[in-house]
């Protein structure tokens, strides 16, 4: 859920030539690095124990937590006093940042072993690589030893994405797959029926029929904003569903292959013809507002969006139906449903001070007791989803969240190990696991956003992306 990539600061480069775009990318990266360095300096001066001061004036152990500024984390910040009351010797301090700045700050902290953060929020994109590099604490011994934590209750598909070599290096705070949300009243008025397992052909047909310029209602809302976790998060599963891929088994880029090209053209044409206006500027947050305000008939996005829609837009939530992520290609060619799987999780970097206190916090924040207890504070439909089987067995959650059964099945059936019908050498269904993907994904997302904005053709966008991918593979020793 939420932003995973560049923000709108990259938009000014979209209409310029390739070198200007790359300059803009480097400029944004440099700006983020400066912001990260500034934040780390503000956290306290370094010391031999790392992280600056590790205790308060009264002797409490400080657990500094770096998190993204999404609604779930804002909720837990308000509720952390319960943890501190149960652990009076621990003081939790949050550094709440936009996604771009949080990623940059955490990466800088962990890769330089500055140990400013006792706990950090990262995703299943980074976790396996960082664990392999020896940067993260294996949490499995602590989590599995605590009977009240009920380690076996964690959804296995989510845990698998946070594992490396038999260890579990992150505890899932919330997880998501993807689905279609749609306005039941608009479908009924148009005499349309949404199947539970739609194809992309059907979705395009519905979008065309429901797109209403008179009422200002878009047929569908889709992400177009720059960012490997913005427009690519939505687009890559469309490519996968149509039988396309990023690379073949020789790590040769496939961004100009017929299947990939067809999927990208389909996505771009769908949002340009029947999507929201100004879609090249829209990411998750913009689409949430757009759909929540009743301006779109359908929205294809993260399953974790359902709770915030219930919380913020109850009228639209009451009129919303849910369907699985679409399958197949735009021409009806054989393809599979390709839901994504993404999790925001908490890690304890290796060598941080107050490590035991940090692990206690992680256990509390990702444990079953917190999920149940928080319901009375944030509402049953808005509890942290996607991490535990027991969540979906709670009668109160089943009653409050009509989307729950579909979400659980989507998460359980997402396949990071086999994201597409093609045989590929990588894992990840809305991203690729590997540190090099972040910069490549950002570059490709700029091209896609330009195509959606109409400042560049899809053919040119994919041709440039193919060249960028070839260069990235060669520089990382994956392609000769």
Full domain range(s) for residue 43: 18-176+342-413
- Verify that 324 and 468 share a domain, yes or no: yes
The string of DSSP codes covering 89-138 is: TEEEEEEEE-HHHHHHHHHHHHHTT----SEEEEETTTHHHHHHTT-B--
- Verify that 183 and 262 share a domain, yes or no: yes
Q: What is the rounded average pLDDT of the residues 354-359?
A: 98
Confidence of residue 31 (pLDDT cuts 50, 70, 90): very low
Tell me: pLDDT of 70 over 90: no
Confidence of residue 6 (pLDDT cuts 50, 70, 90): very low
- Verify that 139 and 33 share a domain, yes or no: yes
- Is residue 305 a contact partner of residue 39, using CB atoms and an 8 Å limit? no
Tell me: pLDDT of 5 over 70: no
The whole-model pTM stands at 0.86
- Verify that 170 and 28 share a domain, yes or no: yes
Neighbours of 307 (CB within 10 A): 26
Q: How many structural domains are present in the chain?
A: 2
pLDDT tens by residue, 250-286: 999 999 999 999 999 999 999 999 999 999 999 998 9
Confidence of residue 9 (pLDDT cuts 50, 70, 90): very low
Flag whether 93 is in a domain.
Answer: yes
Q: What is the rounded average pLDDT of the residues 407-411?
A: 96
Confidence of residue 422 (pLDDT cuts 50, 70, 90): confident
Q: What percent of the chain lies above the pLDDT cut of 70?
A: 88
Flag whether 9 is in a domain.
Answer: no
Q: What percent of the chain lies above the pLDDT cut of 90?
A: 78
Q: Tokens 């999790």 belong to which residue?
A: 343
- Verify that 198 and 158 share a domain, yes or no: no
Tell me: pLDDT of 320 over 90: yes
- Verify that 259 and 140 share a domain, yes or no: no
Q: What is the rounded average pLDDT of the residues 290-316?
A: 95
Tell me: pLDDT of 87 over 50: yes
The pLDDT value given to residue 69: 86
Flag whether 319 is in a domain.
Answer: yes
- Verify that 218 and 252 share a domain, yes or no: yes
The pLDDT value given to residue 369: 95
- CATH number of the domain to which 349 belongs: 3.40.190.10
- Verify that 266 and 324 share a domain, yes or no: yes
SS3 string, 165-223, reads: CCEECCEEEEEECEEEEEEHHHHHHCCCCCCCCCEHHHHHHHHHHHCECCCCEECCECC
Phi-psi region of 154 (alpha: psi -120 to 50; beta: other; left: phi over 0): beta
The pLDDT value given to residue 30: 39
Flag whether 158 is in a domain.
Answer: yes
Domain boundary among the residues 389, 413, 437 is at 413
Flag whether 274 is in a domain.
Answer: yes
CB-based contacts of 11-18 (< 8 A; 24+ apart in sequence): 11/226, 11/280, 11/281, 11/449, 13/446, 14/226, 14/280, 14/446, 14/449, 14/450, 14/453, 14/455, 14/456, 15/450, 15/453, 15/455, 15/456, 18/464
Tell me: pLDDT of 79 over 60: yes
- Verify that 193 and 68 share a domain, yes or no: no
- Verify that 264 and 145 share a domain, yes or no: no
Confidence of residue 455 (pLDDT cuts 50, 70, 90): very high
The pLDDT value given to residue 35: 47
CB proximity list for 19: less than 8 A, separation 6 or greater: none
Confidence of residue 53 (pLDDT cuts 50, 70, 90): confident
């Amino acid at each position: 859920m939420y932003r995973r990539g560049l923000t709108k600061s990259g938009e000014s480069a979209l209409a310029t030539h390739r070198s200007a775009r790359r300059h803009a990318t480097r400029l944004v990266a440099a700006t983020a690095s400066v912001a990260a360095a500034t934040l780390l300096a503000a956290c306290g001066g370094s010391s031999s124990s790392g992280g600056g001061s590790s205790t308060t004036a009264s002797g409490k152990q400080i657990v500094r937590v770096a998190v993204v500024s999404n609604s779930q984390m804002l909720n837990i910040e308000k509720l952390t006093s319960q943890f501190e009351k149960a652990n009076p010797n621990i003081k939790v301090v949050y550094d709440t940042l936009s996604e771009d700045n949080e990623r940059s700050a955490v990466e800088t902290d962990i890769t330089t072993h500055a140990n400013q953060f006792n706990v950090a929020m990262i995703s299943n994109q980074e976790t396996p690589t960082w664990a392999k590099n020896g940067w993260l604490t294996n949490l499995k011994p602590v989590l599995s030893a605590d009977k009240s934590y009920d380690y076996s209750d964690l959804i296995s598909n989510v845990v698998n994405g946070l594992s490396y070599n038999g260890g579990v290096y992150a505890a899932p705070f919330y997880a998501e797959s993807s689905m279609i949300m749609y306005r039941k009243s608009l479908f009924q008025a148009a005499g349309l029926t949404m199947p539970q397992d739609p194809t992309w052909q059907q979705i395009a047909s519905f979008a065309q029929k429901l797109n209403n310029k008179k009422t200002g209602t878009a047929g569908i809302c889709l992400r177009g904003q720059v960012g490997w976790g913005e427009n690519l998060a939505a687009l890559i599963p469309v490519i996968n569903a149509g039988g396309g891929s990023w690379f073949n088994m020789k790590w040769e880029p496939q961004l100009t292959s017929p299947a990939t090209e067809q999927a990208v053209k389909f996505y771009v044409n769908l949002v340009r013809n029947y999507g929201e206006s100004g879609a090249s500027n829209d990411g998750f947050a913009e689409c949430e507002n757009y759909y929540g305000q009743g301006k779109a008939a359908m929205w294809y996005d993260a399953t974790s969006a359902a709770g915030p829609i219930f919380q913020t837009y109850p009228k639209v939530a009451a009129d919303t139906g849910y369907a699985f992520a679409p399958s197949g290609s735009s021409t009806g060619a054989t393809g599979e449903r390709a839901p994504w799987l993404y999790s925001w999780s908490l890690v304890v970097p290796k060598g941080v001070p107050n490590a035991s206190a940090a692990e206690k916090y992680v256990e509390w924040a990702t444990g079953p007791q917190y999920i149940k207890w928080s319901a009375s504070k944030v509402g049953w439909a808005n509890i942290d989803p996607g991490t535990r089987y027991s969540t979906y067995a709670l009668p109160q959650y089943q009653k409050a969240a009509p989307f729950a059964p579909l979400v659980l099945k989507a998460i359980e059936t997402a396949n990071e190990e086999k994201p597409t019908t093609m045989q590929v050498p990588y894992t990840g269904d809305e991203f690729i696991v590997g540190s090099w993907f972040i910069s490549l994904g950002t570059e490709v997302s700029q091209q896609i956003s330009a195509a959606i904005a109409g400042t560049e053709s899809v053919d040119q966008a994919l041709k440039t992306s193919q060249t960028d991918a070839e260069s990235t593979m060669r520089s990382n020793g994956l392609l000769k």
